[in-house]
Copies of this chain bind each other. A is one copy, B any other.
Amino acid sequence: MNNYSVKKLSRLAGVSVRTLHLYDELGLLKPSVRTEARYRLYGDKELLRLQQILFYRELDFPLKDILAILEDPAFDLQQALEGHRKALLAKRERIDTLVGTIDKTLVTLKNNTMLQVEDLYEGIPNDKMEAYRAEAMAKWGKDTILSAEETLRSFSKEEMRDLQTELSNINTRLTVMMNTDPTSAPVQECIARRFKIILQLSGGKIEMGKLEYFRKLGELYVQDNRYTPVDGMPSLELAQFMKAAMDHYIETQGE
């Protein structure tokens, strides 16, 4: 019969000393002997029991249940395992749902980054840049665009990044609320903030009437097939939602 100190046993089994203290306190694994100085000493039998404990712990059983399993020889292990299995499957399903939500959010986030880029003329590959620029000038007038670009250049990199990030966050929240009522208060709140940021970025110099500019932006989202890429399915849905929300915002602002 071997004698293991707490440290030795902890190394053997790959657990911390604290864990052994705790298991002792819980009555899950008592040392076979206590020395005069109250040192814990474990024998082979305890090592075996510890292995059992660790197996069930691996399966994410709570320590209370493990105690019941090990203490009560009449414990229905099979039923416990089946119940535990069901719980694990439910957890997995929940995780799948969460990942799905995140994926959707990420896809639209990336698409929205495109939208921002469109708004801001930033980060577009050079070869595409000129095409966007020309298109924008045709849509909103040459002077409008030149003045907006001037404003953009006046921002520091940090200001730029902060504003873009906040815009991105707002878009994410809008994405999240995509299936709710576009006229609801939370959505409109986001739309308002978005409007403010975009105006700030364009230096308040959009001449065609600010709300009109915003409306055009909404139409653009829905009409332009650049916003419904093949691998970003939710985008069209989002664009329509955004337009609806922006339209309602413009209406209520006009009053």
Contacts and interface: CB of A to CB of B under 8 A. Distances in A.
Copies of this chain, whole number: 2
Interface residues of A, number: 49
A73 B185 contact: no
Contacts of A51: 177, 186
Given A44-B185, A189-B48, A102 B81 contact: yes
Contacts of A216: none
Given A99-B88, A185-B47, A74 B165 contact: yes
Nearest to A2: B185
Contacts of A162: 73-74
A77 B176 contact: no
A73 B169 CA distance: 7
For the residues of A in contact with B, the DSSP-based class is helix
B92 A106 contact: no
A16 interface: no
Contacts of A172: 77
Interface stretch (A52-60, A122-130, A147-155): A52-60
B82 A106 contact: yes
B73 A186 contact: no
A46 to B, nearest CB: 11
